[in-house]
A = this chain, B = another copy of it.
Amino acid sequence: MIAPEMLASDVASRELGIELLDLSPGRARVSMRVTASMVNGHAITHGGFVFALADTAFALACNSYDEPAVAARADIRFLRPTHEGDVLIADAVERARFGRNGIYDVAVSRDGEVVAEFRGDSRTIAPRQ
């Protein structure tokens, strides 16, 4: 599994305060607290940070096997706004694998209520030497 080593060297996720809660083949669960510096001009969490949390869960899930994989694309649907101090949980689950491709669904929730639904397409790459 590549994910743990990858997360250890992932400066971005660490700086965002993202914590790994659970990891297994095809699945990952991470959390992040919304800080004052993640809030936008509408006084709600900037969509980029909700996306970043979901994207980290997705990256861990698609790297939970022996081949490195990267995000080819992703989409996110915002259901409810969140605010400074909220703790967000992102749950990534593999939906399909075919050839070098994978599809992963990530639900982002706060206190058990879904606030965003994310879907990402991954593609395996040749390992770095």
Contacts of A72 in B (CB 8 A): 77-78
A48 → B minimal CB distance (Å) = 2
A 85-129 binary contact with B (CB < 8 Å = 1; else 0): 000000000011010010101000000001001010100000000
Q: List 22 A-B contacts (CB under 8 A).
A: A6-B41, A9-B41, A9-B43, A11-B38, A12-B38, A12-B48, A13-B46, A47-B52, A47-B55, A47-B71, A48-B53, A51-B51, A51-B55, A52-B52, A70-B81, A71-B78, A72-B77, A73-B78, A74-B76, A75-B75, A77-B121, A105-B105
User: Could you say how many copies of this chain the assembly holds?
Assistant: 4
Q: Which residues of A contact B (CB under 8 A)?
A: 5-13, 15-16, 36-49, 51-53, 55-56, 59, 68, 70-81, 95-96, 98, 101, 103, 105, 114, 117, 119, 121
| CB closest chain-B residue, reference A60 | B41
Assess the A39–B52 pair: CB atoms within 8 A: no
Besides A51-B51, A73-B78, 19 more A-B contacts (Cβ < 8 Å) are A10-B40, A11-B37, A11-B39, A11-B40, A12-B38, A12-B39, A12-B40, A47-B52, A47-B59, A48-B56, A51-B74, A52-B52, A70-B81, A73-B76, A75-B76, A77-B103, A79-B101, A80-B98, A96-B114
